[in-house]
């Protein structure tokens, strides 16, 4: 069995599937009815990324929401962080963002937002799924059905909010030359506009918002070779890559060298903590160990959470953190909002370069160097949790953390094993100060998990 054969994932993090197989109009409409019921016929904002399937899914969602008496506001194509901000700006009761995020083009998904623009947490997600499975739907008469209204201000509002929280004049003086690869996704319109507002000379690649991805939208090294070459060819100051809904960024330095996703949160945190030491930073359990070294440098408090934006965001609110995010390129800056936001990350990093008058390469050298190997292998949920329990038993006498999956720490070596919430896979993240050590350990653990999977499947 391979990953393409598991085409639907329903959980508290949302609903993902392959269009034309299990992500059908009937399923989507039912989810819309369930969310409209959960929101008690409130005001709901709906946005989507550029995927070809987006229009079909949007209208199916509309049917479900309208049937429960919801007031629906259609943002159409916009980034996930833009949609999050609009939920707050419009004082909506909730929102739905239609995006397959980093998944390949055949996938799409629904992500559910509450009134503060943050995703549903575990308990809220369970309540929604209970309504979905039980079919206890709210129904309204024809005369209580509301119209869909359109709102095209998401881009303008998002850019304005970011510009209020960075030093525009200083960044503009530098006239940075920036290459942006938006993978023809939702960031293709807004990101060049933001960069121009910041006085940058913008070199666009894959910035046609047609949803036809020129490469897999996950912003990892293997997918960004053209970006690396373009930065080098045009002698740009920096290159950025976004995923399809623009909540994540990866960075390429002025030499065309891929710095990667993990550097996004680290650079942003290093910049903010220089200004506000002794503060609190929140990241997920799989984020690089470099963030621990950075927070120690500034006598800051570091808190780790389960993997998932909502866990980080809610902990940031509780702890009044000044910066946070996830190591996959998701920067959360509360002065703008509590959502992973690639545009916020871009603006903060450009300001960091402007204030220090250093290149992105020079700034990256200030981040403690670790080598992280990220592996994954196909695994059904029922099998992944069996394997995880076996691994926990085997390594119970080691230094472990059970916040999310299993994390084993040995000196500078750190291994995180967990079932994915977005794909039918088991993820294996291994990090240490040595590339060979990380690679060797990752291979060993992958083999071990494969052996256990054969036993339980």
Q: Which of 84, 101, 286, 342 is the catalytic position?
A: 101
Backbone angles phi, psi at 127, to 5 degrees: -60, -45
Q: Which of 92, 108, 116, 121 is nearest to 22 (CA)?
A: 108
Six-digit token pair at 335? 């002065």
Six-digit token pair at 127? 């309540």
Beta strands in 253-363 (DSSP E): 258-260, 280-284, 301-305, 323-326, 330-332
Distance CA 153, CA 75 (A): 8
Backbone angles phi, psi at 249, to 5 degrees: -130, 150
Query: Read out DSSP for 173-217?
Result: HH--EEEEE-TTSTHHHHHHHHHHHTT-EEEEES---SS--SS-S
Query: Read out DSSP for 221-285?
Result: GGG-HHHHHHHHHTT-SEEEEE-TTSS-EEEE-TTS-EEESHHHHHHHHHHHHHHSTT-EEEEET
Check if 101 is active-site.
yes
> Catalytic residues, which ones?
101
């Amino acid at each position: 069995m391979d990953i393409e054969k598991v085409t639907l994932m329903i959980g508290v993090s949302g609903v993902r599937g392959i269009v034309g197989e299990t992500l059908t109009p009937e399923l989507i409409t039912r989810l819309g009815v369930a969310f409209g019921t959960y929101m008690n016929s409130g005001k709901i904002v709906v946005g989507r990324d550029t995927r070809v399937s987006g229009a079909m899914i949007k209208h199916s969602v509309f049917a479900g929401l309208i049937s429960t008496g919801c007031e629906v506001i259609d943002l159409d194509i916009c980034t996930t962080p833009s949609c999050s901000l609009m939920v707050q700006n419009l004082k909506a009761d909730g929102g739905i963002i239609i995006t397959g995020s980093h998944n390949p083009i055949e996938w799409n998904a629904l992500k559910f937002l509450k009134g503060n623009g943050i995703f549903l947490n575990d308990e809220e997600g369970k309540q929604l799924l209970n309504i979905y499975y039980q079919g206890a739907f709210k129904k309204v008469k024809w005369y209580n059905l509301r119209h869909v209204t359109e709102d095209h201000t998401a881009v303008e509002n998002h850019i304005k909010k970011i510009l209020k929280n960075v030093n525009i004049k200083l960044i503009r003086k530098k006239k940075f030359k920036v290459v942006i690869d938006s993978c023809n996704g939702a960031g293709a319109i807004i990101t060049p506009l933001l960069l121009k507002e910041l006085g940058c000379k913008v070199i666009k690649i894959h910035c046609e918002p047609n949803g036809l991805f020129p490469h897999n939208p996950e912003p990892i090294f293997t997918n960004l070779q053209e970006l690396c070459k373009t930065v080098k060819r045009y002698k740009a100051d920096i290159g950025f890559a976004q995923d399809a809904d623009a909540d994540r960024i990866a960075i390429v330095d002025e030499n065309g060298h891929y710095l990667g996703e993990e550097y996004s949160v680290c650079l942003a945190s290093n910049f903010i903590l220089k200004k506000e030491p002794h503060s609190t930073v929140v990241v997920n359990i799989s984020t690089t160990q470099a963030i621990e070294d950075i927070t120690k440098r500034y006598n800051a408090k570091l808190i780790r959470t389960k993997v998932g934006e909502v866990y980080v965001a809610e902990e940031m609110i509780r702890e009044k953190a000044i910066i946070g995010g996830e190591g996959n390129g998701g920067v959360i800056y509360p002065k703008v909002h509590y959502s992973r936001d690639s545009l916020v990350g871009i603006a903060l990093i450009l300001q960091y370069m402007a204030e220090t008058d250093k290149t992105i390469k020079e700034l990256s050298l200030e981040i403690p160097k670790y080598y992280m190997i990220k592996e994954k292998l196909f695994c059904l949920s029922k099998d992944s949790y069996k394997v995880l329990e076996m691994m926990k038993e085997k390594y119970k006498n080691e230094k472990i953390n059970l916040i999310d999956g299993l994390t084993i720490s040995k000196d500078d070596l750190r291994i995180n094993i967990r079932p994915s919430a977005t794909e039918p896979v088991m993820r294996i993240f291994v990090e240490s100060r040595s590339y060979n050590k990380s690679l060797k350990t990752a291979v060993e653990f992958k083999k071990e998990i494969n052996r256990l999977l054969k036993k339980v499947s």
